[in-house]
Amino acid sequence: MADPARAARLAQRIKVVVAESLRKAVKDERAEAITITDARVTNDLQHATVYYTVLGGEDAAEGAREILETKKSVLRREMGRNLTIRLTPTLEFVADEIPVNASHLEDLLREAKARDAEVARLAEGATPAGDPDPYRKAEDDAPPGDGDEDEYDGEDESDGVEPRDD
């Protein structure tokens, strides 16, 4: 097992090498729409997972997946030439879903902001239900009665010790 820091450094280097190889070694115009977003390497440095996004629609994404699968050996060969490790990791390409998820979150935030604006607009001219000041005042805290009566609190005034008969 290699050091996790070494695996992280190798993953960053693989990300750069694969992106450059897509630009130089793969002779297909569909490869220009592919962006390598991240790479992960297992701790034994044997397998690399490369995440990518594609500029365009569903057809472009399908074409990019096809290119990456067919040119996997070319990309691995270029990776072996540019990396200074004993064994070249195998490659696995995974479509990155983060941009799609981020777009969905932005839509949800935009919708929540619109609802907040609607609630603020409705609350602008509204009056509260019930008393205008629903909080207790100091005079409300006094116990019931005229105030000059001593109320029994349930405790005896003796100290709890009975007198001795000697």
Q: Which CATH architecture has domain 4-96?
A: 2-Layer Sandwich (3.30)
36 touches 15 (CB < 8 A): yes
The tokens 């799609």 sit on which residue?
Answer: 100
pLDDT single digits (tens) 98-155: 877 888 899 999 999 999 999 988 888 887 777 777 787 777 566 665 555 555 555 5
Q: How confident is the model at residue 58, as a pLDDT?
A: 84
In this model, does residue 38 exceed pLDDT 70? yes
Residue 103: C-alpha distances to residues 56, 61, 109, 132, 136 (Å): 15, 17, 10, 44, 48
Residue 49 has pLDDT above 90, yes or no: yes
Q: What is the pTM of this model?
A: 0.62
The secondary structure of residue 30, as a DSSP letter, is G
pLDDT digits (tens, 9 = 90+) for 84-112: 888 899 999 998 888 778 888 999 999 99
Q: Cα–Cα distance between 59 and 39 in angstroms, integer?
A: 24
